[in-house]
Amino acid sequence: MAKQKNIFMCSSCGNDFPKWSGQCPACKEWNSVSQVSGSYLKPLTGSKNSLRIKVKPQTPKKTLQSAQTSYQTTSISEIDRVLGQGLTPGGVYLLTGQPGIGKSTLLTQLAIKISQTISNQVLYVCSEENSTQVATRINRFTKKDTNNLNLLNTSNVESILDQNALSRYNLVIIDSIQSIQTDLNPTSPGSPSQIKDSANLIIRMAKETQTPVILIGHVTKSGSIAGPKLLEHMVDSVLELSGDRQHNLRLLRSVKNRFGPTDETGIFQMTGKGLEEVKDPSKFMLEGRVENAPGSSLCLIMEGTRPLTVEIQALVVPSNLAIPRRVAKGININRLQLICAVLTKHLKLPLGNKDVFVNVTAGYNLTEPGADLGIALAIISSSKNKPLPNNAIAFGELGLLGEIRSVNFQDKRIKEAKTLGYKITISPENTKHLKQIDLSSRT
């Protein structure tokens, strides 16, 4: 009798070995290697779930012709903007974000929109939440007929792929990739090898049946996508929903996109009725702004290819600590320290014995260097207890020598400032150094 081959697999990285060891030789994780049944690693080809569709080679021209006509708009313009032109047949998308940020909410709304507006068949796989919970949410969002929307309560990949399921639907949503499991892999849901194998099966089916699939993906504590890095390579697009849970603003960005640009951002606000598109982001960002207040500055930043006005607030107060505090919300603390140092050196601003607090309103996270000048102006304004002109807006990067450096999309920003009615634009075009800034003109 042929001796059965033993396979030992690491539940952390998914590598397999001929013998057991206490520490995985590949990922160095302890106590993660265990024996798996011999059926694991059987070839995927020829499995009963395979839906072989005859494919023919095509010329690039023909391929393009068929591709251009087949983009499927989602009827949510902020999502279309991020995707490029809409969903692509056979495209596999990964939507990630912090827990509770609104991933399931956004995709439930997308499922409703596509099933109602375009009358397309949508399959929503509920492996994380119970299908009743999802149905309750759908009921809250719409009172109209939802016959084209199908909820599947399973966490088994084979059940999802069963009965030619994918080929019957125009969109499949899987909530989430970390909670599904294939019979081919004995590790628990969420393990890197399980995610890899499950995603592999789903992606293959999506390509064979030309059905767009959106997978929801968790993120780790550090903010990276949970599971193997390979997952990001396997899917066609990686979308990220971000925001501050204490605020309503939600931003949808594409981190990777094989079908369109990666520099577009969809802007939403979380409401009692789910996520709503924000049509006028600058107005939304400035809601409730106190005018003529020292320590407040307006800054024109780029969110993708869209200019956006944000308010930066600073508070400079005497400190009773040996090392004064620098507290930043919405900007990097090192950036704040650097800007404080530049202001002390080049404008002789006495910040050495002051606490400096900076906050970006609406829970927005500013990473763009073009916001430096806005941050500097807010600090100057609070330090001198002098409000900035009401009709002034700023953008520009601050150099260590106190110079104001150019940033990208300058013309677009200046045009936007004019459109929004700002009379004074402090920018690298008209101000080359911090020393040239004159805040006395109040109108």
Tell me how far, at minimum, the Cβ of 273 lies from ligand TYD, in Å.
6
- The CA distance from 144 to 274, in Å, is 16
Q: According to the binding rule CB under 6 A, does residue 102 interact with ligand TYD? A: yes
Residues in contact with ligand TYD, total (CB under 6 A)? 13
Q: Which is nearer to Mg ion, 135 or 343 (CB)?
A: 135
* Contact indicator for 356, 315 with CB cutoff of 8 Å: yes
Q: According to the binding rule CB under 6 A, does residue 190 interact with ligand TYD? A: no
Site track 98-127 with Mg ion (rule: CB under 5 A), x = hit: ------x-----------------------
* Maximum separation of any 2 CA atoms in the chain, in Å: 94
Q: According to the binding rule CB under 6 A, does residue 105 interact with ligand TYD? A: yes
Q: Which is nearer to ligand TYD, 219 or 398 (CB)?
A: 219
Q: Which does 99 bind (CB under 5 to 8 A by kind): ligand TYD, Mg ion, none?
A: ligand TYD
Q: Which is nearer to Mg ion, 149 or 407 (CB)?
A: 149
Q: According to the binding rule CB under 6 A, does residue 97 interact with ligand TYD? A: yes
Q: According to the binding rule CB under 6 A, does residue 220 interact with ligand TYD? A: no
Tell me how far, at minimum, the Cβ of 11 lies from Mg ion, in Å.
24
Q: Which does 137 bind (CB under 5 to 8 A by kind): Mg ion, ligand TYD, none?
A: ligand TYD
* Window 246-275: residues binding ligand TYD (CB under 6 A): 270, 272-274
Tell me how far, at minimum, the Cβ of 182 lies from ligand TYD, in Å.
23
Tell me how far, at minimum, the Cβ of 125 lies from Mg ion, in Å.
12
Q: Which is nearer to ligand TYD, 339 or 362 (CB)?
A: 362
Interacting residue ranges for ligand TYD, rule: CB under 6 A: 97, 99-105, 137, 270, 272-274
Binding site for Mg ion (CB under 5 A): 104
